Amino acid sequence: MISDLKVHIVEDDNTTRRLLENIISVLGYSVLSYDNGQDAWDAFKVEQPQIVISDWMLPGMDGLELCRALRESMTKNYTYFVLVTAQKRSQSNLEVAIGAGVDDFLKKPISSEEIWNRLRVAERILNFTHQVRRLESLIPICCYCKKVRNDGDLWEQIEQYVNERTGADFTHSVCPQCLEKHVRPQMESYKRDLAAKKAGEPK
């Protein structure tokens, strides 16, 4: 389970907002709430909450606009977006909301059981995306030659792999352990061979 999940509530109706605040706080989440979409968007850019529960109809930036802005700005961590609405759950409304990036829906009036169920689903999805990111962060490297498998299932030098993804270049050196284990024996062998060659040369 992801620890310290942050939930942002965006709801202009005071009664509904307080209800959501109380229930979600009791469930152990860190909660911040806003009564308009613009304030929520400004806070999101700083706080980066894992879950947003937003009303559809809001003053200024509505719930769908907030969700679109959130999706366009998201680069790394996923945010689970729940849309709260009193509107009829028609096929056209669902298509518009899903097209904006909404993950789930809460129909007004809201019950504590519904909120709890949505948050459990949100946690499951967030944990799954977290595990996927961890797997993607593992670099497949050959234990013998140290080449790395790229996205095209081809093997390349680790220097090239890192450079293509980060722009970083490598400078090569020798660590003290490898200096003693590999370099010095090679140098001594070279000196012996050179001395033997000189000794065998005619005077």
What's the structural domain count of the chain? 3
State the Cα–Cα distance between residues 5 and 154, nearest whole angstrom. 39
Q: Kindly tell me if the per-residue pLDDT of 111 is higher than 90.
A: no
Which pLDDT band holds residue 1 (cuts at 50, 70, 90)?
very low
Last residue of a domain, one of 90, 117, 137: 137
List, for residues 3-41, the tens digit of each pLDDT value: 478 999 999 999 999 999 999 999 889 999 999 999 999
The CA distance from 159 to 55, in Å, is: 49
pLDDT at 141: 74
13 neighbors 84 (Cβ within 8 angstroms): no
The tokens describing 196, both together, are 């033997």
Q: How far apart are CA 85 and CA 67, in angstroms?
A: 14
CA–CA separation, 192 and 198 (whole Å): 10
Residue 176's pLDDT band (cuts 50, 70, 90): confident
Q: Return d(Cα 73, Cα 44) in angstroms, integer.
A: 10
Gap between the Cα atoms of 80 and 127, Å rounded? 11
Q: Which domain holds residue 91?
A: 6-137
Closest CA to 27 of 36, 19, 38: 19
Do 64 and 159 belong to one domain? no
69 & 89 share domain: yes
Please give the pLDDT value at position 167.
Answer: 65
Kindly state the average pLDDT of the residues 35-49. Answer: 93
- Asked if residue 53 is part of any domain, the answer here is yes
Strands, E assignment, the chain: 6-10, 30-34, 51-55, 80-85, 104-107, 148-149, 155-156
Model pLDDT for residues 121-173, shown as the tens digit of each residue: 898 888 887 776 665 566 677 766 777 777 677 777 777 766 676 666 666 66
Whether pTM > 0.75 for this model: the answer is no
